Amino acid sequence: MLADYAVRVEQSRGRRFPEPKHPYRNDFQRDRDRVIHSRAFRRLEAKTQVFTRRYSDHFRNRLTHTLEVAQIARTVAAQLALNVDLVEALALVHDVGHPPFGHAGEKALDAAMRKHGYFFDHNLHALRIVEDFELRYAAFRGLNLSFEVREGIIKHSHDYKADEFPELSEYLLDSRPPLEAQLIDLADEIAYTNADLDDGYESRLLQMDEIRSGVELFDRFYTEAEQTWPDVIEKLRFNESIKRMLDRFVGDLICNTQEQIRAAHAHSVEDVRNSRERLVLFSPEVEKERCQAKAFLYDTLYYSPSLDVEKKLGEQIITELFDFWVTKPDELPITYREKAEEEPLPRVVCDYIAGMTDNYIYDQYQKRR
Ligand code: MG
């Protein structure tokens, strides 16, 4: 049973190339399955989220992060009676546009592009992947995803201004995305905040006392866990505290979004689209807690000197290879040389690099040193 403000698959604006109905999967289920079967999705396994593989092979990579986002988003969507199939497709596709080496890689690729008057944006890149780069089907290029999935790729985390991005005009930039897409951004925030505390602690880059003094919510739950389980090892109390943080964020997101929907009198997808602000939101109290945890991670983990060496190396690899292929386009694979006849060379080189896994770009770099 879907809520009146949920997206209905029967009312989808459809695919670019119309296709016959599938006998037992609806269009959003097929979109989800197409994402899972795409190359870009499989490559997430070898892309850095925060920690490179050097640290441990049980830390999150972009694929396992994506699965955690999908789990959280499905849970919230089911409670809000949203379209879970659409939410799952959006969660699984939300990070496919990320280049190798995490945010350091993204920054370096953007800087390299800006020297040529362009820029790099992972959401726009994800749209190019699903529209153009994936070659699986004989009848069309790309994955031919439903409108609502393509719209969500563009609009889940960021509002692009209609006058700055005329090429995206079909995605209704002046209106809010459906709740299914709004949800992805916050499920992403919940997933990585908790996961990065977890991996940060496990890697010993974050110490228990600094987490407790830097993240009040964690400290509260840890104190409870100490009282409930005085005799278990610290790591298990840590896990219990992270679990409670996750539950608090998810529970609050569900309750507060229900209130926002009520207050906005949203009774249809059109009401959601026309509402002035996004409706999927944490309560002010929990938003403050979440921001404190996030700020703590920025201060202590994301910019920590221990991660810096690899970030710098990642940036250097991307910058040098970008310049290499821009000055020596004959060294590009034939498919990219052909593309460069129709598109600006920096864009083609950027697309090539952005699609690479950490492993693959590292090999490319070694070969050219
Ligand atoms: Mg993400």
For the chain, give the secondary structure using H, E and C: CCCCCCCCHHHCCCCCCCCCCCCCCCHHHHHHHHHHCCHHHHHHHHCECCCCCCCCCCCCEHHHHHHHHHHHHHHHHHHCCCCHHHHHHHHHHCCCCCCCCHHHHHHHHHHHHHCCCCCCCHHHHHHHHHHHHCCCCCCCCCCCCCHHHHHHHHHCCCCCCCCCCHHHHHHCCCCCCCHHHHHHHHHHHHHHHHHHHHHHHHCCCCCHHHHHHHCHHHHHHHHHHHHHCCCCCHHHHHHHHHHHHHHHHHHHHHHHHHHHHHHCCCCCHHHHHHCCCCCCCCCHHHHHHHHHHHHHHHHHHHCCHHHHHHHHHHHHHHHHHHHHHHHCHHHCCHHHHHHCCCCCHHHHHHHHHHCCCHHHHHHHHHHCC
The CA 49 to ligand 1 mean position distance, Å, reads 8
- Which pLDDT score is estimated for 162? 87
Delimit the domains of the chain by residue range: 9-310, 326-367
- Which pLDDT score is estimated for 50? 83
Cα–Cα distance measured from residue 311 to residue 305, given in angstroms and rounded to the nearest whole number: 10
The CA 262 to ligand 1 mean position distance, Å, reads 28
- Which pLDDT score is estimated for 51? 79
Decide if 73 contacts 89 (C-beta within 8 A): no
- Which pLDDT score is estimated for 368? 85
The CA 304 to ligand 1 mean position distance, Å, reads 20
Q: How many CA atoms lie within 13 A of 31 on its CB side?
A: 31
The CA 63 to ligand 1 mean position distance, Å, reads 9
The CA 353 to ligand 1 mean position distance, Å, reads 19
In this structure, what token pair is assigned to residue 329? 């386009």
Burial 32-47 (b: 16+ CB within 10 A, else e): bbbbeebebbebbebb
Cα–Cα distance measured from residue 135 to residue 122, given in angstroms and rounded to the nearest whole number: 20
Surrounding residues of ion ligand 1, Cβ less than 5 A: 95, 188
The CA 164 to ligand 1 mean position distance, Å, reads 25
Decide if 51 contacts 60 (C-beta within 8 A): yes
Residue 144: burial class (beta carbons within 10 Å; 0-12, 13-18, 19+): buried
Cα–Cα distance measured from residue 238 to residue 270, given in angstroms and rounded to the nearest whole number: 43
Query: Phi, psi at residue 35, to the nearest 5°?
Result: -65, -45
- Which pLDDT score is estimated for 287? 98
The CA 52 to ligand 1 mean position distance, Å, reads 16
The CA 22 to ligand 1 mean position distance, Å, reads 30
User: How many Å from the N-terminal Cα to the C-terminal Cα in the chain?
Assistant: 58
Decide if 99 contacts 120 (C-beta within 8 A): yes
Torsion sign over Cα 189, 191, 197, 199: negative
The CA 336 to ligand 1 mean position distance, Å, reads 28
Q: List CB contacts of 200: < 8 A, sequence separation 6 or more.
A: 206, 211, 297, 300, 301
Q: One digit per residue, pLDDT tens: the chain, 369 residues?
A: 999 999 999 999 999 999 999 999 999 999 999 999 999 999 999 998 887 767 777 889 999 999 999 999 999 999 999 999 999 999 999 999 999 998 999 999 999 999 999 999 999 999 999 999 999 999 999 999 999 999 999 988 888 888 889 889 899 898 999 999 999 999 999 999 999 999 999 999 999 999 999 999 999 999 999 999 999 999 999 999 999 999 999 999 999 999 999 999 999 999 999 999 999 999 999 999 999 999 999 999 999 898 898 899 999 999 999 999 999 999 999 999 999 999 999 999 999 999 999 999 999 999 987
The CA 50 to ligand 1 mean position distance, Å, reads 11
Correct CATH for 9-310 of 1.10.3210.10, 2.60.40.10, 3.40.50.360, 1.10.10.10:
1.10.3210.10
- Which pLDDT score is estimated for 58? 84
The CA 187 to ligand 1 mean position distance, Å, reads 9
Decide if 44 contacts 66 (C-beta within 8 A): yes
CA distances from 275 to 11, 253, 254, 271 (A): 20, 18, 18, 6
